Amino acid sequence: MGLDLGSQVVKAVEITLEGPEPVITGFARVEIPPGGDRGAAIAEAFKKGRFRSKNVVTSVSGQSVVVRYVSMPRMSENELRQAIRIEADRYVPFELDEVKLDCQPLSRRPQKGTETDPNDKEQMSVLLVACRLQTLEEQVKAVLGQGLAPQAVDVDVFALANAWELCGLPEEAKEGEQEKGVALIDVGHVRTSINVLCGGETCFSREIGIGGHDMTQAVARRLGIELHEAENLKRNPGEQEAELQRAIAPVLEDLTSEITLSLDFVEHHEGLRVEEILLSGGGILAPGAITYIEQATARTARAWNPIEGLRIAVDRVDVEELEAWTSSLAVAVGLASRVRAA
């Protein structure tokens, strides 16, 4: 089960392997009311979802997580695990005994702009992740407190990539697409997560501290209404749609300028073109948001359905609700997709 503990919405998706086929066998989405308790939302999600499994994968995001793409001399994975602490000391702004470190060699070699020559076969790219232990422990405690069995803790941006891989391009397309990038962008409540894939592998990721909450605040300010009224209006603008779009435009402008900066950086650094943006997260449901992002970034952008093509156990899942929220489920689906590796 993938449990996405978002800052506004708890999302849980259960995937069961039926033979080799991943099937969605459970789903729940519970909003945390303002000032409400996340633990209660998790408990409600488990009541609603009628899940079979207690095995849960969660994720972290935000300022307790540091992700770096570093260039290192080529070495075995064992050697890398030894060497990574020394490397981490240079890149991680926390005390090393207060973090959990992990790393993963990448198949793409370091590109332009790094200290090393891209043709140097003696170098490799390594993904380095550090997360504050306190954050991990709090999360594991929250999961254990619900009587669940935590299996792994991922990072939101990488869960996006795993969701993409679950129903994404076939192998041959990945190989043929070395010079084309696809950007997975999840616009949540308080943050936007970006992961750019090249040949199916992450080559850049970043979080921007802008999301749906900023849109709601902008609406409340412009229209002089309370936050909860602004939230309702954002979701059901009716005849006020044009006014609403004007109110959220400055937020989308800030967001897209950060996205564009990131994509330009990747393109320059990696020597590729990011052709397509796949959008997820509740924030993209705001009126006009997708069109705005598409126009402002001058790239093809569309809402991403991370469960497209997956079979749904209709006897166990509220299909109508699931389909209404598919684009919010990318992180949860990516977390659940680890069932394939279990």
Ligand X SMILES: Nc1ncnc2c1ncn2[C@@H]1O[C@H](COP(=O)(O)OP(=O)(O)OP(=O)(O)O)[C@@H](O)[C@H]1O
DSSP class of 41: H
CB of 193 to ligand X, least distance (A): 7
CB-wise, 139 or 328, nearer to ligand X?
328
**Least separation in angstroms between CB 276 and ligand X:** 20
Least separation in angstroms between CB 200 and ligand X:
24
- Cα 224 to Cα 226: distance, rounded to the nearest angstrom: 7
First to last CA, the chain: 12
Residue 200 or 287: the one with the smaller Cβ distance to ligand X is: 287
Angle between helix axes 133-144 and 38-49 (nearest 10 degrees) is: 50
Least Cβ distance, residue 159 to Mg ion (angstroms): 9
Question: For every residue of 46-110, which 3-state class applies, written as one string?
Answer: HHHHCCCCCEEEEEECHHHEEEEEEEEECCCHHHHHHHHHHHHHHHCCCCHHHEEEEEEECCCCC
Closest to Mg ion by CB, 22 or 188: 188
Nearer to ligand X, 252 or 272 (CB): 252
Cβ count within 10 A of residue 149:
11
Of 110 and 164, CB closest to ligand X: 164
Residue 190 tokens read as 């308080």
Residue 188-227 contact track with Mg ion, rule CB under 5 A, x = bound: x---------------------------------------
Residue 2 binds Mg ion, judged by CB under 5 A: no
Type of residue at 335: L
Torsion of CA 105, 106, 107, 113, to 10 degrees: -120
Binding site for ligand X (CB under 6 A): 6-9, 188-191, 211-213, 216, 231, 234-235, 281-283, 285-286, 328
Closer by beta carbon to ligand X, 9 or else 57:
9
Q: Alpha carbon of 246 to those of 33, 211, 243, 288: distances in Å? A: 26, 16, 5, 10
Question: Helix, strand, or coil here: 32?
Answer: coil
Burial pattern 184-202, b for ≥16 Cβ within 10 A else e, equals bbbbbbbbbbbbbbbbbbb
Residue 133 and residue 333: Cα distance in Å, rounded? 25
- Residue 63 or 107: the one with the smaller Cβ distance to ligand X is 63
Q: Kindly state the smallest distance separating residue 274's Cβ from ligand X, in Å.
A: 22
Q: How many residues does the chain have?
A: 342
Q: Which residue is nearest to Mg ion (CB)?
A: 188
Instruction: List the beta strands (DSSP E) in 240-283.
Output: 273-280
The residue among 87 and 231 lying less far from ligand X, judged by its C-beta, is: 231
Least distance from C-beta 177 to ligand X, angstroms?
Answer: 27
Residues 4-23 that bind Mg ion (CB under 5 A): 6
- Binding site partner of 211, from ligand X, Mg ion, none, Cβ cut-off 5-8 A by kind: ligand X
Min dist CB 135 to ligand X, Å, is: 13
**Minimum CB separation from Mg ion for residue 12, in Å?**
13
Residue 8 site contact among Mg ion, ligand X, none (CB < 5 to 8 Å, cut-off depends on kind): ligand X
List residues near Mg ion by CB under 5 A.
6, 188
